Structure 1
């Protein structure tokens, strides 16, 4: 028996002087490489795309309504959050062979999950008002029957709304969840299995991202189209930055120099310079809400952005330095959750 190795992607921190805008990283010359995974929420499936060709190499059936994805640190496994059920599902990254599901509590409705480097999975149970901390043990490449987990929550039933999206600090001590109906942000103390802090920030708070050094937490209001910089410990608002319409997701650049909002209502991106807390440019992707642009992720080197256009079953690949849309990658029906490995 072995423990599934699990963790968030490593970050590279690029220093810059306060108040000075850092230079954008340029895309590397030559062909793009790497692999993308896409959760197709209308198609109940998972796609594997070879980024060098832009072609889908494999597709696997998943639970109904799959959403956010996360990849193990050795890049051997990808985990799918099952938003309409009570489980998360694990697949091999090489060929999408199913490894098995992890069954959680009734009505868990996991929208997002993150793998940690100590063999645990954090899964936000929106339907139970809680955060799961899971240890998944492997036996000959499959999930063993005994899986330990604990639940950090507000009690129930009836259950209060739980976290829709989650982020975790670099040390794995605290997790952060956004409660959309209440506009709340919750800080979870993972080690002590407790909610350590909670604060109402605004209307329809959904997107969340944390800096690589853990010193700044960002969330955004879908209703007010504002990105808020928060103190990670107190959750007090430190800055408010206007974005495009409906900033449904936030993606942190690997350097920590920029945080970018995916603006569902305008089909564009707002680039925020984290040293000045100012929006420094807008990147047009589709330019309207017809594409239903949602999930946004950076390539591991920070040169490219990938934006899921869920209404058109496409993923837009964007050069971060120039803002140019390089190509669109076809995926399954309703491609939304994204993960990229090099």
Structure 2
């Protein structure tokens, strides 16, 4: 494993916001905490100090790393390996390699979530299944053996789930199947598929409210965000977004859901109380930036949007909508995780 150190520079742009959110704004252009970025074209993981915008470490990863998830104690970050059958774990402090966990043949894990109880829920798109397995770190390393369950799918099954969400109590999960336009509800206690519904065309993005009471997904083809009943998967509301809403990020308060719009290079902010668009935040304003992953800081003050074509992460003040700076990453920076 090679660890490299780099110094990164940032740029800033400006935008507008409604007055009711201004009280949450921070005047400083510097965020706090640590940002992790999976560089999918560079087969690497970056660690960035948000106080300076400086990349402090970079580690080699599997080919085509995608979504990231952090351990409950914030000591480790897990990388989903979209081109193979594994997930990889690294130290959040130094990006020292902490081990690899191998799943089924052609698992192609695109996204995973590390739960407070130590379980990891991973969507195996290549097998059309969901994995549930325990990762109890031992002396800073992944265990040599780990119990796991595979729910649904299997080798040769149709593709999906691509992105996933898990209920606050860890008993249910949801996955999006892009090609089928479906959302699937999984019963994690019973290790079974509980419900499946076709929602629209090219359903990819997914986010769950903090209380688990509402589920949101989005259609890349039709540029619509759908609010669903998480148990029945009934569509409760349809909200137009910017072009190609490839990701959704839920504000920690649950008051807003924000779409990252690949096709228009902006963000659509939806108020969850009214299911209405309250504003649009320009980021690059162009599909050429290939804007994909979007995450909030834990306090909801900042948003981080991955611009994968320009190898930058746009840091955005949510209250004002101002793009505070652009932080350089490795090639194809996409998957994101923030530790405050």
| Shorter-chain TM band | over 0.9
Equivalence map 1:10-159=2 (5 Å): 23=21, 26-30=24-28, 31-154=30-153, 156-159=154-157
Equivalent of 2:266 in 263, 268, 275: 268
**1:118, distance to aligned residue in structure 2 (A):** 1.4
2:215 counterpart residue number: 217
Counterpart for residue 14 of structure 1: none
SS at match of 1:322: coil
Task: Report the secondary structure of 2:67's partner residue.
Answer: strand
Partners of 2:48 and 2:25 lie apart in 1 by 20
For 1:310, the equivalent position in structure 2 comes to 308
Return the TM-score normalized by structure 1: 0.92
In the alignment, is the contact (CA less than 8 A) between 1:182 and 1:203 conserved in 2?
yes
Deviation sequence 1:52-111 (CA, Å, 0-9, x none) = 000100000000000000111211000000000000000000010000010000000000
Kept in 2, the 8 Å contact 1:119–1:136? The answer is yes
For 1:181 and 1:195, how far apart are their aligned partners in 2?
18
Mapping of residues 246-285 of structure 1, within 5 Å? 246-285=244-283
**Paired residues of 1:34 and 1:341 also in contact (CA < 8 A):** yes
Deviation at 1:186, TM superposition (A): 0.3
CA distance in 1, matches of 2:309, 2:155: 35
Cα distance, 1:161 vs structure 2: 1.4
Alpha-carbon distance in 1 for matches of 2:295, 2:144: 33
Any idea what the Cα deviations from partners look like across 1:26-59, whole Å, max 9, x if unmatched?
A: 2335542100000000000000000000010000
CA contact (8 A) 1:82 1:111 kept: yes
Q: CA deviation at 1:25?
A: 5.3
Higher alpha-carbon deviation: 162-171 or 265-274: 162-171
Give the deviation of 1:160 after TM superposition: 1.6
Query: Given the superposition, is the C-alpha separation of residues 25 and 192 from structure 1 closer, same or farther in structure 2, using an over 3 Å criterion?
Result: farther
Length-normalised TM-score, structure 2 = 0.92
Q: How far apart are the structure 1 equivalents of 2:276 and 2:198? A: 23
Distance 1:24 1:302, change over 3 A: farther
1:127 aligned counterpart, secondary structure: helix
- Post-superposition Cα deviations, 1:182-235, rounded to whole Å, max 9, x if no partner, equal 000000111110000100000000000000011110000000000000000000
Note if contact 1:25-1:320 (Cα within 8 Å) is conserved in structure 2.
Answer: no
2:72 and 2:118 in contact (8 A); partners too: no
The correspondence for 1:296, drawn from 294, 297, 321, is 294
Q: Identify unmatched segments of 5+ residues in structure 2.
A: 1-18
For 2:214 and 2:145, how far apart are their aligned partners in 1?
A: 37
Number of equivalences: 321
Partners in 2 of 1:124 and 1:181 — Cα distance? Answer: 15
Secondary structure of residue in 1 paired with 2:156? coil
Could you tell me whether the CA contact under 8 Å between 1:25 and 1:303 is conserved in 2? no
Q: Can you list the C-alpha shifts for 1:10-36, whole angstroms capped at 9, x where unaligned?
A: xxxxxxxxxxx9746523355421000
